[in-house]
């Protein structure tokens, strides 16, 4: 309704609307509006961090496989990325990462929690302890894009670290729980100093209708509950299908499931393409695994039919 009501104003720049959205976000996060930086999706926030901290000679510590956006930007600028492989549980090796942070005097450390493609999550206590130690060396970027999908989101988030003034950047998005991926609205919660450092690389602003939609969605708790339930139920149904097909998978808390296919991902992509589906990109070295996002009930029913044709 908010979008339909404001279509007539989409010829205008969203200067006033951005201020309103930042104020609403700040109120929800328990910080000041000076702690909020808006972006065209969280991808832009990640790219800003990649530009600011990915200078020649800089070091970034990250675990893999994970979401690569920030590190790819940094490497293009000449930064060194020190990779720490995941544990067998497909969770971040926080001890191994902290060792590299200290040894390399890392400028920035990136953690995606919940992680992608695995969908695993770290305990809030372990993340907090890691951040407090890593922040003695540099900045920590916590990508919490998928965290809002959890019912206990407020107990899991590390926004308290920002309130304390630690050099932590928390990335969020309206693409997942809010269902506004096509409108490209994301934001960072961080210190005013880091808002200024990241913001100087910003080249554009979000769309008018995207800002309006995000502002309306923030207060729609009923939709948030519905969205979480829809994703959880879809994830459970798809996991049951994988079990029926004897395909291994990693239990996920995200809006996706990472599962084994038994064949090279490129071959699987081609098999599913013939059946009308474009499936996930490779996540080396897991070349026989695929990450599937949860779609509508109708989409998932069609996808189940295709999966049974391939693996049944």
Taking only the tens place, the pLDDT of each residue in 3-28 is 677 666 677 778 888 999 999 999 99
CATH number at residue 190: 3.40.640.10
* Same structural domain, 105 and 177: yes
* Same structural domain, 65 and 178: yes
* Same structural domain, 167 and 254: no
* Same structural domain, 72 and 111: yes
pLDDT tens digits for range 129-182:
999 999 999 999 999 999 999 999 999 999 999 999 999 999 999 999 898 899
Q: What is the spatial distance between Cα 312 and Cα 74, in angstroms, rounded to a whole number? A: 43
Q: What is the spatial distance between Cα 269 and Cα 145, in angstroms, rounded to a whole number? A: 26
* Final residue of a structural domain among 219, 254, 281: 219
Who's near 94: CB < 8 A, 6+ residues apart? 122, 126, 127, 130
Stated length of the chain: 312
Burial of 16 (0-12, 13-18, 19+ CB in 10 A): exposed
114 with 143: CB under 8 angstroms?
A: no
Average pLDDT over residues 254-258: 97
pLDDT tens digits for range 197-254:
999 999 888 888 889 989 999 989 999 999 999 999 999 999 999 999 999 999 999 9
Backbone angles phi, psi at 288, to 5 degrees: -115, 30
* Same structural domain, 49 and 67: yes
For residue 267, count other CB atoms closer than 10 A to its CB. 13
Q: What is the spatial distance between Cα 80 and Cα 98, in angstroms, rounded to a whole number? A: 16
């Amino acid at each position: 309704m908010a979008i339909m009501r404001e279509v007539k104003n989409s010829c205008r720049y969203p200067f006033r609307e951005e201020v309103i959205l930042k104020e609403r976000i700040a109120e929800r996060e328990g910080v000041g509006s000076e702690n909020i930086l808006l972006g065209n999706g969280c991808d832009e926030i990640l790219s800003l961090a990649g530009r600011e901290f990915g200078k020649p000679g800089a070091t970034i510590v990250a675990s893999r496989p994970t979401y690569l956006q920030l590190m790819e930007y940094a490497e293009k600028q000449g930064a060194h990325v020190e990779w720490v492989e995941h544990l067998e549980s497909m969770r971040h090796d926080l001890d191994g990462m902290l060792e590299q942070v200290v040894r390399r005097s890392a400028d920035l450390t990136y953690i995606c929690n919940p992680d992608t493609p695995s969908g695993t999550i770290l305990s809030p206590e372990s993340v907090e302890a890691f951040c407090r130690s890593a922040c003695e060396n540099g900045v920590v970027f916590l990508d919490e894009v998928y965290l809002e999908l959890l019912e206990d989101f407020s107990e899991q988030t590390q926004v308290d670290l920002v309130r304390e003034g630690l050099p932590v950047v928390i990335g969020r998005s309206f693409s997942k729980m809010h269902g506004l991926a096509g409108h490209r609205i994301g934001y960072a919660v961080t210190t005013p100093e880091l808002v200024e450092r990241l913001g100087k690389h910003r080249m554009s602003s979000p769309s008018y209708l995207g800002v309006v939609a995000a502002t309306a969605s923030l207060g729609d708790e009923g939709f948030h509950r519905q969205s979480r339930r829809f994703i959880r139920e879809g994830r459970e149904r798809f996991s049951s299908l994988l079990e029926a097909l004897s395909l291994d998978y990693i239990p996920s808390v995200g809006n996706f499931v990472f599962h084994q296919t038994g064949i090279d991902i490129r071959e699987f992509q081609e098999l599913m393409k013939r059946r009308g589906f474009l499936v996930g990109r490779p996540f080396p070295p897991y070349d026989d695994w695929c990450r599937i996002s949860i779609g509508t009930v109708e989409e998932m029913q069609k996808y189940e039919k295709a999966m049974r044709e391939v693996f049944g």
